[in-house]
Amino acid sequence: MEWKFLKYFSKNLKKLNKNQFFQNKEYKMTANNTTQTTYIPKFSYPFAQKNKTIYKDKLGSLSHGNYLFTKMGFWHGGIHFEGSMLRDLKAQEGIKCIADGEIVAYRINNEYLNDGRGLYSTGFFLIKHKIEYPTNNKQSFFSLYMHTAKKDDYLNKEDYLVKTKGENILLRSGYERRAYSPAIGDAIAANTKIIIDGKWIQNRARVLYVEGRDIDLSLNLTIHNSNVSDINKKDIPKLEEIFVNKDFNKVIVLSNPIKIKAGETIGLMGEYNIEGERNVNCLHLEVFASEQFKTFVQTTKRG
């Protein structure tokens, strides 16, 4: 089913609406005095690199982790991004969501696993997407991002981790000025590691993590930019979820899926070492749909 799905989208989706391939659109067409609605989500690349020729060249040189079958002849429903290609694909900027959708499940490893051959991640993000074309011909499909980073890899990534500076640093609830926003909890010492969401409102950013301290995220705690060193405004939009849920190593199925847009950062790449390798980052990316996809394709062609 994965093969049919990818083959269909690579050859036919542009034909559905060639000028809108990378635009999220809900189209309304009038025929016989009735309004017909179709929906094609916005699509994006899995990394910050936007040059399709670079992707083609890099994936064409894969020695293993190929789509459909591995070099050992085993079924492999996804493709691997790893090794020297990662720099050219700008993978250090995070894994990007390939289409508008919602995160329905994920797992974050507390520590990487070791099977005797090397360390590896079982972390993943699963995202559900929807498409409708023509009217009332609806189909859901999923994108799966495997071997994602362990917990401490997020805490140690300088793009998202900052340190406090100054004396008697206080967190406050909300973004109002000091007179209207009471301090919450004890003062924080200088050079304490914290994670902020990078979204500055009235010179304050939300705090998601404080080294050595449990914080209540429901209080919407913020810190002033004068108390933060090495400010970097980049952020992982869904990073907060990692710290809300303390059940690391477990599969988390979200009762309230998190909406995410194409091109938004999902998370970071983790390690996947085989046969004595060390520090090898890898992303396994897979796209799949249900058996109903065959009917969806047939109806689309008639439309």
Listed by start position, the domains of the chain span 2-155+252-302, 161-229
Tell me what pLDDT residue 3 has.
43
Q: What is the DSSP letter of 21?
A: T
224 alpha carbon, distance to own chain's centre: 28
Query: Rounded CA gap, 155 and 223, in Å?
Result: 18
Query: Rounded CA gap, 44 and 83, in Å?
Result: 22
For 148-163, give one letter per residue: b (16+ CB within 10 A) or e: bbbbebbbebebbbbe
Tell me what pLDDT residue 5 has.
44
* Choice between 157 and 228, residue whose per-residue pLDDT is larger: 228
CA–CA distance from 299 to each of 11, 172, 284 (Å)?
Answer: 16, 55, 31
Does residue 98 contact residue 264 with C-beta atoms inside 8 Å?
A: no
Query: Rounded CA gap, 288 and 128, in Å?
Result: 10
CA–CA distance from 288 to each of 102, 150, 234, 282 (Å)?
Answer: 15, 25, 30, 20
CA–CA distance from 172 to each of 92, 194, 252 (Å)?
Answer: 32, 14, 30
Query: Rounded CA gap, 185 and 172, in Å?
Result: 9
Per-residue pLDDT averaged across 30-55, rounded? 83
Tell me what pLDDT residue 4 has.
45
Tell me what pLDDT residue 15 has.
44
Tell me what pLDDT residue 234 has.
47
Tell me if the pTM is above 0.85: no
Query: Rounded CA gap, 298 and 106, in Å?
Result: 32
